[in-house]
Amino acid sequence: MSGKILVTGGLGFIGSHTVVALQQQGYDVVIIDNLSNSSIDVLAGITRITEKTPEFEKLDLRDKSSVKDFFEKYTDIAGVIHFAASKAVGESVQNPLLYYENNLASLIYLLQELSKKEQANFIFSSSCTVYGQADELPIKEESPVKKAESPYGNTKQIGEEIIVDTCKVAEGLKAISLRYFNPIGAHESAEIGELPLGTPQNLVPFITQTAIGKREQLSVFGNDYPTEDGTCIRDYIHVMDLAEAHVAALTRLLENKEAPKYEVFNLGTGKGSSVLEVVNSFERATGEKLNYKIAPRREGDVIAAYADTTKANEVLGWKAETDLDTSLASAWKWEVKVKEAEAAES
Ligand SMILES: NC(=O)c1ccc[n+]([C@@H]2O[C@H](COP(=O)([O-])OP(=O)(O)OC[C@H]3O[C@@H](n4cnc5c(N)ncnc54)[C@H](O)[C@@H]3O)[C@@H](O)[C@H]2O)c1
Protein backbone atom coordinates (compact mmCIF):
# COMPACT_ATOMS: atom_id res chain seq x y z
CA MET A 1 0.00 0.00 0.00
CA SER A 2 1.37 3.42 -0.83
CA GLY A 3 0.66 6.38 1.38
CA LYS A 4 0.48 6.96 5.08
CA ILE A 5 -2.40 6.67 7.48
CA LEU A 6 -3.06 9.75 9.59
CA VAL A 7 -4.35 8.86 13.05
CA THR A 8 -5.63 11.91 14.92
CA GLY A 9 -5.71 11.44 18.68
CA GLY A 10 -3.30 8.56 18.10
CA LEU A 11 -1.74 8.83 21.56
CA GLY A 12 -5.12 8.44 23.26
CA PHE A 13 -6.72 5.25 24.53
CA ILE A 14 -8.33 3.81 21.38
CA GLY A 15 -6.01 5.65 18.99
CA SER A 16 -2.81 4.16 20.43
CA HIS A 17 -4.16 0.61 20.20
CA THR A 18 -5.27 1.26 16.63
CA VAL A 19 -1.80 2.57 15.72
CA VAL A 20 -0.38 -0.74 16.99
CA ALA A 21 -2.87 -2.74 14.90
CA LEU A 22 -2.16 -0.63 11.80
CA GLN A 23 1.61 -0.95 12.12
CA GLN A 24 1.35 -4.67 12.71
CA GLN A 25 -0.52 -4.99 9.43
CA GLY A 26 2.13 -3.05 7.55
CA TYR A 27 0.63 0.45 7.44
CA ASP A 28 2.84 3.52 7.86
CA VAL A 29 1.33 5.80 10.46
CA VAL A 30 1.59 9.48 11.27
CA ILE A 31 -0.07 10.64 14.47
CA ILE A 32 -1.51 14.05 15.25
CA ASP A 33 -2.19 14.74 18.92
CA ASN A 34 -2.15 17.89 21.07
CA LEU A 35 -1.54 15.85 24.25
CA SER A 36 -4.60 17.43 25.89
CA ASN A 37 -5.66 14.01 27.19
CA SER A 38 -2.59 11.86 26.66
CA SER A 39 1.12 11.65 27.30
CA ILE A 40 4.07 11.66 24.92
CA ASP A 41 5.26 8.49 26.72
CA VAL A 42 2.59 6.56 24.81
CA LEU A 43 4.79 6.86 21.72
CA ALA A 44 7.47 4.78 23.45
CA GLY A 45 4.86 2.24 24.56
CA ILE A 46 3.69 1.80 20.96
CA THR A 47 7.30 1.45 19.81
CA ARG A 48 8.05 -1.24 22.40
CA ILE A 49 5.18 -3.33 21.00
CA THR A 50 5.69 -2.80 17.27
CA GLU A 51 9.43 -2.02 17.18
CA LYS A 52 8.59 0.89 14.90
CA THR A 53 8.10 4.48 16.02
CA PRO A 54 5.19 6.15 14.23
CA GLU A 55 5.74 9.68 12.97
CA PHE A 56 4.31 12.24 15.36
CA GLU A 57 3.14 15.83 14.94
CA LYS A 58 2.12 17.71 18.06
CA LEU A 59 -0.65 19.82 16.69
CA ASP A 60 -4.01 21.20 17.82
CA LEU A 61 -6.66 20.43 15.22
CA ARG A 62 -8.59 23.54 16.28
CA ASP A 63 -5.84 25.53 14.62
CA LYS A 64 -7.03 25.66 11.02
CA SER A 65 -3.78 26.90 9.53
CA SER A 66 -1.79 24.11 11.25
CA VAL A 67 -4.14 21.54 9.75
CA LYS A 68 -3.60 23.08 6.31
CA ASP A 69 0.18 23.12 6.83
CA PHE A 70 0.10 19.47 7.87
CA PHE A 71 -1.49 18.41 4.57
CA GLU A 72 0.99 20.55 2.65
CA LYS A 73 3.83 18.72 4.39
CA TYR A 74 2.30 15.24 4.13
CA THR A 75 1.01 14.97 0.58
CA ASP A 76 0.76 11.17 0.64
CA ILE A 77 -2.00 10.58 3.22
CA ALA A 78 -4.02 7.59 1.96
CA GLY A 79 -6.47 7.47 4.84
CA VAL A 80 -7.43 9.32 8.00
CA ILE A 81 -8.76 7.78 11.23
CA HIS A 82 -10.12 10.62 13.32
CA PHE A 83 -10.16 9.88 17.05
CA ALA A 84 -9.20 13.30 18.41
CA ALA A 85 -12.06 14.72 20.44
CA SER A 86 -13.09 15.58 23.97
CA LYS A 87 -15.12 12.73 25.41
CA ALA A 88 -16.33 13.38 28.97
CA VAL A 89 -20.13 13.54 28.97
CA GLY A 90 -20.38 15.43 32.29
CA GLU A 91 -17.75 17.98 31.31
CA SER A 92 -19.60 18.58 28.05
CA VAL A 93 -22.69 19.62 30.00
CA GLN A 94 -20.58 22.07 32.04
CA ASN A 95 -18.65 23.41 29.07
CA PRO A 96 -20.63 22.84 25.87
CA LEU A 97 -18.70 25.33 23.75
CA LEU A 98 -15.41 23.55 24.44
CA TYR A 99 -17.00 20.36 23.13
CA TYR A 100 -18.65 21.93 20.09
CA GLU A 101 -15.42 23.71 19.19
CA ASN A 102 -13.03 20.83 19.78
CA ASN A 103 -15.15 18.05 18.30
CA LEU A 104 -16.67 19.93 15.38
CA ALA A 105 -14.10 22.56 14.34
CA SER A 106 -11.41 19.84 14.19
CA LEU A 107 -13.63 17.65 12.04
CA ILE A 108 -14.51 20.52 9.70
CA TYR A 109 -10.89 21.58 9.19
CA LEU A 110 -9.85 18.01 8.39
CA LEU A 111 -12.72 17.55 5.92
CA GLN A 112 -11.93 20.88 4.26
CA GLU A 113 -8.45 19.64 3.48
CA LEU A 114 -9.61 16.17 2.43
CA SER A 115 -12.28 17.64 0.12
CA LYS A 116 -9.52 19.18 -1.97
CA LYS A 117 -8.02 15.78 -2.74
CA GLU A 118 -8.76 13.56 -5.70
CA GLN A 119 -9.14 10.63 -3.33
CA ALA A 120 -9.59 10.62 0.42
CA ASN A 121 -10.68 7.99 2.92
CA PHE A 122 -12.01 8.98 6.31
CA ILE A 123 -13.00 7.03 9.42
CA PHE A 124 -14.89 8.76 12.21
CA SER A 125 -15.12 7.75 15.88
CA SER A 126 -18.80 7.81 16.65
CA SER A 127 -20.65 6.29 19.56
CA CYS A 128 -23.64 4.17 20.51
CA THR A 129 -24.82 7.22 22.49
CA VAL A 130 -26.45 8.33 19.23
CA TYR A 131 -29.12 5.64 19.78
CA GLY A 132 -30.07 6.78 23.31
CA GLN A 133 -32.40 4.18 24.85
CA ALA A 134 -33.14 2.17 21.71
CA ASP A 135 -36.64 0.75 21.32
CA GLU A 136 -35.29 -2.61 20.17
CA LEU A 137 -32.33 -4.70 21.31
CA PRO A 138 -29.82 -5.64 20.03
CA ILE A 139 -29.30 -2.28 18.33
CA LYS A 140 -29.05 -2.27 14.54
CA GLU A 141 -27.48 0.52 12.49
CA GLU A 142 -30.97 1.41 11.20
CA SER A 143 -32.22 2.13 14.72
CA PRO A 144 -33.36 5.72 14.90
CA VAL A 145 -30.90 8.31 16.20
CA LYS A 146 -32.50 9.81 19.30
CA LYS A 147 -32.20 13.37 20.56
CA ALA A 148 -28.77 13.65 22.17
CA GLU A 149 -28.66 13.60 25.98
CA SER A 150 -25.52 15.76 26.20
CA PRO A 151 -23.46 18.21 24.16
CA TYR A 152 -20.87 15.41 23.77
CA GLY A 153 -23.47 13.07 22.27
CA ASN A 154 -24.69 15.89 20.07
CA THR A 155 -21.19 16.43 18.64
CA LYS A 156 -21.20 12.79 17.49
CA GLN A 157 -24.62 13.17 15.83
CA ILE A 158 -23.74 16.48 14.18
CA GLY A 159 -20.32 15.08 13.24
CA GLU A 160 -21.96 12.21 11.36
CA GLU A 161 -24.29 14.65 9.57
CA ILE A 162 -21.38 16.89 8.57
CA ILE A 163 -19.63 13.88 7.04
CA VAL A 164 -22.77 12.75 5.16
CA ASP A 165 -23.28 16.22 3.69
CA THR A 166 -19.61 16.56 2.75
CA CYS A 167 -19.52 13.14 1.07
CA LYS A 168 -22.41 14.26 -1.16
CA VAL A 169 -20.31 17.03 -2.71
CA ALA A 170 -16.67 16.01 -2.26
CA GLU A 171 -16.26 13.65 -5.20
CA GLY A 172 -13.15 11.82 -4.03
CA LEU A 173 -14.17 11.45 -0.39
CA LYS A 174 -15.36 8.16 1.11
CA ALA A 175 -16.14 7.80 4.80
CA ILE A 176 -17.17 5.35 7.48
CA SER A 177 -18.62 6.19 10.88
CA LEU A 178 -17.90 3.57 13.52
CA ARG A 179 -20.33 3.59 16.44
CA TYR A 180 -18.45 2.15 19.40
CA PHE A 181 -20.24 0.49 22.27
CA ASN A 182 -18.09 0.32 25.46
CA PRO A 183 -14.36 -0.03 24.82
CA ILE A 184 -12.39 -1.54 27.71
CA GLY A 185 -9.10 -3.24 28.52
CA ALA A 186 -5.55 -2.70 27.36
CA HIS A 187 -2.97 -4.24 25.06
CA GLU A 188 -1.95 -7.64 26.46
CA SER A 189 1.64 -6.41 26.92
CA ALA A 190 0.38 -3.62 29.23
CA GLU A 191 2.70 -1.24 27.35
CA ILE A 192 -0.32 0.95 26.52
CA GLY A 193 -3.77 1.30 28.08
CA GLU A 194 -6.37 3.79 29.28
CA LEU A 195 -5.20 6.77 31.32
CA PRO A 196 -8.26 8.62 32.58
CA LEU A 197 -7.53 12.10 33.90
CA GLY A 198 -9.29 12.72 37.20
CA THR A 199 -12.23 10.61 38.30
CA PRO A 200 -13.01 7.96 35.69
CA GLN A 201 -16.37 8.37 33.96
CA ASN A 202 -16.51 4.77 32.84
CA LEU A 203 -17.13 1.61 34.82
CA VAL A 204 -13.99 -0.41 34.13
CA PRO A 205 -11.32 2.20 35.02
CA PHE A 206 -13.36 2.92 38.13
CA ILE A 207 -13.30 -0.77 39.02
CA THR A 208 -9.55 -1.15 38.50
CA GLN A 209 -8.76 2.09 40.37
CA THR A 210 -10.92 0.93 43.28
CA ALA A 211 -9.28 -2.49 43.37
CA ILE A 212 -5.80 -0.94 43.36
CA GLY A 213 -6.73 1.44 46.18
CA LYS A 214 -6.93 4.78 44.32
CA ARG A 215 -10.69 4.98 44.92
CA GLU A 216 -12.39 3.90 48.07
CA GLN A 217 -15.49 2.27 46.71
CA LEU A 218 -17.35 1.66 43.47
CA SER A 219 -20.91 2.93 43.33
CA VAL A 220 -23.27 0.78 41.27
CA PHE A 221 -25.85 3.31 40.12
CA GLY A 222 -29.26 1.65 40.49
CA ASN A 223 -30.24 -1.97 41.02
CA ASP A 224 -33.92 -1.52 40.31
CA TYR A 225 -33.79 -1.32 36.52
CA PRO A 226 -35.93 -3.76 34.54
CA THR A 227 -33.00 -6.14 33.89
CA GLU A 228 -32.30 -9.59 35.34
CA ASP A 229 -30.21 -8.37 38.30
CA GLY A 230 -31.55 -4.80 38.25
CA THR A 231 -28.32 -3.13 37.05
CA CYS A 232 -27.70 -1.47 33.67
CA ILE A 233 -26.53 -3.48 30.70
CA ARG A 234 -23.79 -2.49 28.25
CA ASP A 235 -21.74 -4.12 25.51
CA TYR A 236 -18.08 -4.16 26.60
CA ILE A 237 -15.62 -4.58 23.73
CA HIS A 238 -11.90 -5.13 24.13
CA VAL A 239 -9.92 -2.20 22.76
CA MET A 240 -7.70 -4.39 20.54
CA ASP A 241 -10.80 -5.91 18.93
CA LEU A 242 -11.99 -2.35 18.34
CA ALA A 243 -8.59 -1.44 16.91
CA GLU A 244 -8.72 -4.38 14.47
CA ALA A 245 -12.14 -3.20 13.30
CA HIS A 246 -10.58 0.13 12.31
CA VAL A 247 -8.00 -1.68 10.21
CA ALA A 248 -10.78 -3.70 8.56
CA ALA A 249 -12.79 -0.53 7.84
CA LEU A 250 -9.76 1.28 6.47
CA THR A 251 -8.83 -1.67 4.26
CA ARG A 252 -12.38 -1.68 2.90
CA LEU A 253 -12.10 1.99 1.96
CA LEU A 254 -8.67 1.55 0.40
CA GLU A 255 -9.28 -1.67 -1.47
CA ASN A 256 -12.97 -1.96 -2.25
CA LYS A 257 -13.72 0.37 -5.10
CA GLU A 258 -17.40 -0.62 -4.97
CA ALA A 259 -17.81 0.41 -1.32
CA PRO A 260 -20.49 3.08 -0.84
CA LYS A 261 -19.36 6.66 -0.26
CA TYR A 262 -20.64 6.60 3.30
CA GLU A 263 -21.36 3.74 5.67
CA VAL A 264 -22.06 3.24 9.37
CA PHE A 265 -21.09 0.22 11.47
CA ASN A 266 -21.80 -0.77 15.06
CA LEU A 267 -18.73 -2.04 16.89
CA GLY A 268 -19.50 -4.19 19.89
CA THR A 269 -19.46 -7.83 20.92
CA GLY A 270 -23.19 -8.29 20.51
CA LYS A 271 -23.44 -9.43 24.10
CA GLY A 272 -24.83 -7.32 26.93
CA SER A 273 -23.35 -7.54 30.43
CA SER A 274 -24.86 -6.01 33.56
CA VAL A 275 -22.78 -3.95 35.99
CA LEU A 276 -22.89 -6.78 38.53
CA GLU A 277 -21.81 -9.29 35.88
CA VAL A 278 -18.80 -7.07 35.16
CA VAL A 279 -17.96 -6.88 38.87
CA ASN A 280 -18.19 -10.68 39.18
CA SER A 281 -16.16 -11.19 36.04
CA PHE A 282 -13.47 -8.83 37.33
CA GLU A 283 -13.25 -10.69 40.66
CA ARG A 284 -13.12 -14.05 38.87
CA ALA A 285 -10.49 -12.97 36.33
CA THR A 286 -8.16 -11.24 38.78
CA GLY A 287 -8.79 -12.87 42.17
CA GLU A 288 -9.26 -9.36 43.61
CA LYS A 289 -12.20 -8.52 45.88
CA LEU A 290 -14.00 -5.35 44.90
CA ASN A 291 -15.45 -2.92 47.42
CA TYR A 292 -18.76 -1.71 45.99
CA LYS A 293 -22.14 -0.43 47.12
CA ILE A 294 -25.49 0.03 45.49
CA ALA A 295 -26.23 3.74 44.97
CA PRO A 296 -29.26 5.58 43.56
CA ARG A 297 -29.76 5.66 39.80
CA ARG A 298 -27.66 8.20 37.91
CA GLU A 299 -29.45 10.70 35.70
CA GLY A 300 -29.24 10.07 31.99
CA ASP A 301 -28.20 6.39 32.13
CA VAL A 302 -29.95 4.23 29.56
CA ILE A 303 -31.15 0.86 30.86
CA ALA A 304 -29.61 -1.42 28.29
CA ALA A 305 -27.55 -1.05 25.11
CA TYR A 306 -25.84 -3.77 23.12
CA ALA A 307 -25.01 -4.06 19.48
CA ASP A 308 -26.30 -6.10 16.62
CA THR A 309 -22.93 -6.68 14.97
CA THR A 310 -24.18 -8.58 11.89
CA LYS A 311 -23.29 -5.76 9.49
CA ALA A 312 -19.71 -5.38 10.75
CA ASN A 313 -19.29 -9.18 10.82
CA GLU A 314 -20.51 -9.64 7.27
CA VAL A 315 -19.33 -6.51 5.46
CA LEU A 316 -16.04 -5.89 7.28
CA GLY A 317 -15.31 -9.58 7.88
CA TRP A 318 -14.53 -8.66 11.47
CA LYS A 319 -15.71 -10.05 14.79
CA ALA A 320 -14.83 -9.24 18.40
CA GLU A 321 -12.90 -12.20 19.80
CA THR A 322 -12.03 -11.34 23.40
CA ASP A 323 -14.30 -12.42 26.26
CA LEU A 324 -15.15 -10.25 29.25
CA ASP A 325 -12.86 -12.04 31.74
CA THR A 326 -9.85 -11.66 29.43
CA SER A 327 -10.67 -8.00 28.74
CA LEU A 328 -10.93 -7.23 32.45
CA ALA A 329 -7.74 -9.13 33.23
CA SER A 330 -5.93 -6.94 30.66
CA ALA A 331 -7.36 -3.78 32.25
CA TRP A 332 -6.12 -4.98 35.64
CA LYS A 333 -2.64 -5.82 34.34
CA TRP A 334 -2.44 -2.26 32.98
CA GLU A 335 -3.62 -0.71 36.26
CA VAL A 336 -0.94 -2.66 38.17
CA LYS A 337 1.68 -1.48 35.69
CA VAL A 338 0.57 2.16 36.09
CA LYS A 339 0.86 1.84 39.85
CA GLU A 340 4.36 0.36 39.58
CA ALA A 341 5.41 3.19 37.27
CA GLU A 342 3.99 5.79 39.68
CA ALA A 343 5.78 4.15 42.61
CA ALA A 344 9.07 4.14 40.70
CA GLU A 345 8.69 7.87 39.95
CA SER A 346 7.98 8.96 43.52
N1 LIG B 1 -13.59 5.64 25.13
C2 LIG B 1 -14.89 5.50 24.90
O3 LIG B 1 -15.61 4.94 25.74
C4 LIG B 1 -15.51 5.98 23.61
C5 LIG B 1 -16.80 5.53 23.25
C6 LIG B 1 -17.36 5.99 22.07
C7 LIG B 1 -16.67 6.88 21.26
N8 LIG B 1 -15.43 7.31 21.64
C9 LIG B 1 -14.70 8.26 20.78
O10 LIG B 1 -13.49 7.66 20.36
C11 LIG B 1 -12.49 8.67 20.21
C12 LIG B 1 -11.26 8.29 21.00
O13 LIG B 1 -11.61 8.10 22.35
P14 LIG B 1 -10.55 7.73 23.48
O15 LIG B 1 -11.26 7.03 24.55
O16 LIG B 1 -9.37 7.12 22.84
O17 LIG B 1 -10.20 9.20 23.99
P18 LIG B 1 -8.79 9.83 24.48
O19 LIG B 1 -9.10 11.09 25.18
O20 LIG B 1 -7.99 8.79 25.19
O21 LIG B 1 -8.07 10.13 23.07
C22 LIG B 1 -8.32 11.31 22.33
C23 LIG B 1 -6.98 11.89 21.95
O24 LIG B 1 -7.22 13.05 21.14
C25 LIG B 1 -6.34 14.08 21.56
N26 LIG B 1 -7.01 15.35 21.19
C27 LIG B 1 -8.16 15.86 21.70
N28 LIG B 1 -8.43 17.04 21.13
C29 LIG B 1 -7.45 17.28 20.21
C30 LIG B 1 -7.19 18.35 19.31
N31 LIG B 1 -7.97 19.43 19.23
N32 LIG B 1 -6.09 18.27 18.52
C33 LIG B 1 -5.26 17.18 18.60
N34 LIG B 1 -5.46 16.16 19.44
C35 LIG B 1 -6.56 16.21 20.25
C36 LIG B 1 -6.16 13.87 23.05
O37 LIG B 1 -4.94 14.43 23.54
C38 LIG B 1 -6.15 12.35 23.15
O39 LIG B 1 -4.83 11.82 23.03
C40 LIG B 1 -13.14 9.98 20.63
O41 LIG B 1 -13.60 10.64 19.48
C42 LIG B 1 -14.29 9.53 21.49
O43 LIG B 1 -15.33 10.47 21.51
C44 LIG B 1 -14.82 6.87 22.79
Distance, in Å, from the CA atom of 259 to the CA atom of 174, rounded to the nearest integer, reads: 8
Tell me, in angstroms, the distance from the centre of ligand 1 to residue 215's CA: 24
For residue 120, what pLDDT is reported?
97
CA distances from residue 25 to 105, 189, 315 in whole angstroms, order as listed: 31, 18, 19
Evaluate: CB of 106 within 6 angstroms of ligand 1: yes
Q: Which atom of ligand 1 is nearest to the CA of 11?
A: 39
For residue 102, what pLDDT is reported?
98
Q: Could you tell me what percent of the chain has a pLDDT over 70?
A: 99
Distance, in Å, from the CA atom of 103 to the CA atom of 84, rounded to the nearest integer, reads: 8
CA distances from residue 30 to 9, 55, 63, 195, 244 in whole angstroms, order as listed: 11, 4, 18, 21, 18
Distance, in Å, from the CA atom of 253 to the CA atom of 197, rounded to the nearest integer, reads: 34
Q: What is the pLDDT of residues 129-149, one digit of tens each?
A: 999 889 999 999 999 999 998
Q: What is the pLDDT of residues 245-279, one digit of tens each?
A: 999 999 999 998 788 999 999 999 999 999 999 99
Tell me, in angstroms, the distance from the centre of ligand 1 to residue 289's CA: 31
What average pLDDT does this structure show over 306-317?
A: 98
Residue among 111, 218, 107 nearest 155 (CA): 107
Q: What is the pLDDT of residues 318-331, one digit of tens each?
A: 999 999 999 999 99
Q: What is the pLDDT of residues 110-134, one digit of tens each?
A: 999 999 999 999 999 999 999 988 9
Hey, which bits of the chain come out as E strands? 4-8, 29-33, 55-58, 77-82, 120-127, 173-180, 182-184, 218-221, 233-234, 236-238, 262-267, 273-274, 292-295
Handedness of CA 124, 45, 22, 208 (dihedral sign): negative
Catalytic annotation on 152?
yes
**Which residue out of 13, 130, 204 has the highest number of ligand 1 atoms within 8 Å of its CB and is therefore the one to mutate?**
13
Evaluate: CB of 155 within 6 angstroms of ligand 1: no
- In order of their start, the domains of the chain are 4-183+238-267 (3.40.50.720), 203-234+270-345 (3.90.25.10)
Evaluate: CB of 61 within 6 angstroms of ligand 1: yes
Q: Could you tell me what percent of the chain has a pLDDT over 90?
A: 93
Evaluate: CB of 60 within 6 angstroms of ligand 1: yes
The answer to pTM > 0.85 is yes
Q: What is the pLDDT of residues 204-215, one digit of tens each?
A: 999 999 999 999
Question: In the predicted model, is pLDDT for residue 43 greater than 90?
Answer: yes
What average pLDDT does this structure show over 284-301?
A: 96
Distance, in Å, from the CA atom of 156 to the CA atom of 129, rounded to the nearest integer, reads: 8
Q: What is the pLDDT of residues 27-40, one digit of tens each?
A: 999 999 999 999 99
Residue type for position 157: Q
pLDDT bin (cut points 50, 70, 90) of residue 3 is confident
275 CB-contact burial (10 Å; exposed 0-12 / middle 13-18 / buried 19+): buried
Distance, in Å, from the CA atom of 193 to the CA atom of 325, rounded to the nearest integer, reads: 17
Question: In the predicted model, is pLDDT for residue 1 greater than 70?
Answer: no
pLDDT bin (cut points 50, 70, 90) of residue 48 is very high
Q: Which atom of ligand 1 is nearest to the CA of 129?
A: 6
pLDDT bin (cut points 50, 70, 90) of residue 198 is confident
Name beta bridge partners: 220. 294
Evaluate: CB of 87 within 6 angstroms of ligand 1: yes
